[in-house]
Amino acid sequence: MNVGLVGNPNVGKSTIFNTLTGLRQHTGNWPGKTVEKATGYKKHNGIEYQIEDLPGTYSLMAHSKEEEVTRDFIYFNNYDALIIVCDAVCLERNLNLVLQVLEVTDKVVVCVNLIDEAKKKGITIDFEKLSSILKVPVIPTTARSGKGIDELLNALEQACKTKKSAYKVEYNDIIKEAIQIVKPIIREEVTINKDAIALKLINNDPGFAENYEVKNDKILKSKISEAKDYLYKKGIKGHDLETMITEDIISDCEKISSTVVSFSKKDYQKRDRVIDRILTGKLTGYPIMLLMLLVIFWITITGANYPSELLYDFFFGLENHIINFLEFLHIPDVVINCLVFGVYRVLAWVVSVMLPPMAIFFPLFTLLEDLGYLPRIAFNLDKAFKKCASCGKQALTMAMGFGCNAVGVIGARIIDSPRERLIAILTNSFVPCNGRFPILISMITMFFIISMGNSSLASAAILTLMILIGIIMTFIMSKILSKTILKGMPSSFTLELPPYRRPQIGKVVIRSILDRTLFVLKRAVCISAPAGLVIWLMANINIGDASILQICSGALDPFARSIGLDGVILMAFILGFPANEIVIPIMIMGYMSLGYITDFDNLSSLKTLFIDNGWTTLTAICVMLFALMHWPCLTTVFTIKKETGSNKWALLSILIPALTGIIVCFLVTQIYHLIF
């Protein structure tokens, strides 16, 4: 049985999905879309269900790629039933989607989730009465605890087997007449409500009309035009029809809600509003965000050190065993050196450096999301982004970029406007990802913190300052892009502030590691392996008395020194394009004239090496600034190409931050020399 899971954002739909399917899931993209698709499986009473977790939407009047996917699935897919997930705390608003879906199909089960939250707030729902009004099963659930899930599956089984005539919105006579003009010629093979299709076609939904292949049906086009002419004669023009449809649906939602919902507490949202006044207040909102950022970085820095050392010792401890095994197989020495000191060492370094902080950062980030704080961040930053002619939702994609810029790029799907989505994608690399943190932290520790006793808190504070610089550059570049190649006015959007909920720590940790950490790590590993080969070859193939790596570094040196770096540093950033984690090891390799990536036991010794090769405080500052602003990694560029479908935007995603980093470092260098 094929089942679709539908619902507004923040109603616990994903929790329902995870509870139903457990670990029997896989992700991909919807055909022809860059919108993520999650599919899971559940067996109940001998019936195997394939459950599609549809993107969250407030309406079937689609205005984004995600909403288009949900709309098209409901109208055009051959499913056996739909589960519509609602929030018991905000039932009236959620009924808007329920009534729209019931217009299309009767194969529906309404799942009213978060009944525990409703109970706390003194909200009571008469589920039997609601079911009798809607004429479909209505099941109360608390997905977090699994309450009501068995009843939901039993109702789903019945919905797949039986045919009922569900509740339908009663539109005015003018709309009914327009529907009747088009309805008779709707194709007979259509299994869903023909009234709903006719209304969609009349209501100027280009994406829907394209999927229904209207342009190839001259008779249908003629009837749609006739219906529109009829509406025009009755005084219904432009968006008036959509407004009238919406008003009728909302009116029915209000009537149904007033009938089945009762409140024992008048001010049931008092606690949330008190917290919101603090977290989103003009005086307190920004300081709390900065403090939260500081705490997250401090936990990540402190917590990642020990597991990184363990992984490093483990992987590099295997090195001799791998060499012995390859020698046993009589592999030539040059191939062994290439595979072990090139490919393997790069992979080992990337995993050792990248995995621990990601395994800490992503769960922390997901906990904030589960708690309900991330939408508050978007709310706080909405005005700032609007001043840049961008979208407040960009704050969420920017926050995702702290873990991985590729994830931030994918997260830009939540932005409805294509122009604003591109701005978010092109500026996401101005916030440092997990791969850049080691560079920033190493520079901060060596040149600013060692003298202070290696304080992780001081390191986190300076790192937060660097992050602020990155955020400011995000605003500046968003403004520049909106005034040049991506001109336009900022769009308005409705941002729902969900209720605060106690996060499910266990599930959050598991899902964030499986869905985010390992996903990003897999991509990085796949890209780093060939990079390790290239780096080894450049370091070990000589032309005359110098390696290709030394020759390239020397050629870049004059330009690099004009921006506060040197040829070895700039070459390390270029070769670190596949994975930023290997930038510092490449620097070490360049300065020591080694043919392989190596590491130092402590940062004090590494600082000595850098100073012996001409480093100053200015060099460290420029390295941090360039690390903050230079081109995104190869994984992110591939993701941008996939998301935009354009080589142009992928190329610009490299050029824009690279030129910005060069200009900023040049200016800092010149100012530094003028002062000192």
Q: What is the DSSP string of 652-676?
A: HHHHHHHHHHHHHHHHHHHHHHHH-
**DSSP annotation of 514:** I
pLDDT at residue 433 in the model: 83
pLDDT at residue 582 in the model: 80
Once rounded to an integer, what is the mean pLDDT over residues 345-358? 79
pLDDT at residue 524 in the model: 67
For the segment 479-537, what is each residue's pLDDT rounded down to a tens digit? 999 989 888 776 655 566 777 777 777 777 776 776 667 766 776 677 778 878 888 88
260 dihedral zone (left: phi>0; alpha: psi -120 to 50; beta): alpha
Q: Which of these ranges, 402-416, 499-513, 556-570, has the smallest mean pLDDT?
A: 499-513
213 compared with 110, residue with greater pLDDT: 110
For the segment 257-297, what is each residue's pLDDT rounded down to a tens digit? 999 999 886 665 677 778 888 888 888 988 988 888 888 87
- State how far the Cα of 469 lies from the Cα of 383, in Å rounded to an integer: 19
CB atoms within 10 A of CB 374: 18
pLDDT > 60? residue 31: no
Residue spans per domain, the chain: 2-161, 285-487+506-675
Cβ contact 627:436 at 8 Å: yes
Mean pLDDT comparison of 161-165, 169-173, 558-562, highest-scoring range: 558-562
Cβ contact 516:366 at 8 Å: yes
Residue 648 token pair: 């142009």
pLDDT at residue 213 in the model: 65
pLDDT at residue 29 in the model: 56
Percent of the chain with pLDDT over 70: 91
For residue 393, what are the contacts with CB-CB under 8 A and spacing of at least 6? 378, 414, 415, 420, 424, 493, 495
pLDDT at residue 33 in the model: 57
pLDDT at residue 34 in the model: 55
The pTM for the full model equals: 0.70
pLDDT > 80? residue 191: no
For the segment 616-664, what is each residue's pLDDT rounded down to a tens digit? 999 999 999 999 999 998 889 998 998 888 999 999 999 999 999 999 9
Q: Which of these ranges, 122-126, 500-504, 672-676, has the smallest mean pLDDT?
A: 500-504
Once rounded to an integer, what is the mean pLDDT over residues 359-373? 80
Report domain 2-161's class.
alpha beta
User: How would residue 83 be classed by pLDDT, with cut points 50, 70 and 90?
Assistant: very high
For the segment 426-468, what is each residue's pLDDT rounded down to a tens digit? 999 998 887 788 888 888 888 887 655 556 677 778 888 888 9
How far, in whole angstroms, is CA 90 from its chain's centroid?
25
User: How would residue 5 be classed by pLDDT, with cut points 50, 70 and 90?
Assistant: very high
pLDDT at residue 267 in the model: 66
Q: Is 506 exposed, middle or buried (0-12, 13-18, 19+ CB in 10 A)?
A: exposed
Closest Cα to residue 372, out of 277, 275, 497? 497
pLDDT at residue 423 in the model: 93
pLDDT > 90? residue 477: yes
How far, in whole angstroms, is CA 640 from its chain's centroid?
13
535 compared with 613, residue with greater pLDDT: 613
pLDDT at residue 503 in the model: 74
pLDDT at residue 272 in the model: 76
pLDDT > 90? residue 82: yes
- State how far the Cα of 83 lies from the Cα of 98, in Å rounded to an integer: 10
Q: In the predicted model, what is the mean pLDDT of the chain?
A: 84
Once rounded to an integer, what is the mean pLDDT over residues 167-172? 89
User: How would residue 95 be classed by pLDDT, with cut points 50, 70 and 90?
Assistant: very high
